[in-house]
């Protein structure tokens, strides 16, 4: 499956962005999906994940209550709504797909994901 992330940009602290991850090649509903981010000089870190059915989600603590992951399997697209953005959210954001069983949420480790998008840059100014 090929993944294309978009929606990044420059936003002031407190603002919002919605990232999209469009899939092609295979049906997205076959995969659990996740968002990761990588800031300059830092390792890639988990942000959020969603099960194939949208029934379950997980978030890293630093984004809970501010970010929401969702998916539209009919559109083969996953979203990350980011509100109340902070300068420390500045990073390249990547979407990823993992082969998971139907009810399961993908894990938080990058090695658990099978396909990756190219990344979209989010810059939050103070």
Rounded average pLDDT per 10-residue block, the chain, 126 residues: 96 98 90 96 97 92 98 95 98 96 89 96 97
Q: What angle do CA 99, 102, 108 make, to 5 degrees?
A: 50
Q: What Å distances lie between residue 111 and 16, 44, 57, 90, CA to CA?
A: 29, 11, 19, 23
- At residue 54, the pLDDT reads 81
Residue 61: the pLDDT is: 98
Distance CA 104, CA 58 (A): 11
Q: Phi first, then psi: what are they for 29, rounded to 5°?
A: -65, -10
The pLDDT of residue 101 is 82
Q: How far is CA 103 from CA 30, 31, 53, 80, 106, in A?
A: 11, 11, 7, 20, 10
pLDDT at 103: 81
- Residue 108's nearest CA partner among 62, 55, 53, 40 is 62
pLDDT score, position 102: 79
């Amino acid at each position: 499956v090929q993944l294309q992330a978009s929606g990044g940009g420059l936003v002031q602290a407190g603002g919002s962005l919605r990232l999209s991850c469009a899939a092609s090649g295979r049906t997205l509903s076959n995969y659990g999906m996740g968002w990761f981010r990588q800031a300059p000089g830092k390792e890639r870190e988990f942000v959020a994940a969603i099960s194939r059915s949208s029934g379950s989600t997980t978030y890293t603590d630093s984004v809970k209550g501010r970010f929401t992951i969702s998916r539209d399997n009919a559109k083969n697209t996953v979203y990350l709504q980011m509100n109340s953005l902070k300068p420390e959210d500045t990073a390249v954001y990547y979407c990823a797909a993992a082969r998971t069983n139907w009810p399961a949420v993908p894990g938080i480790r990058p090695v658990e994901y099978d396909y990756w998008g190219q990344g979209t840059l989010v810059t939050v100014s103070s």
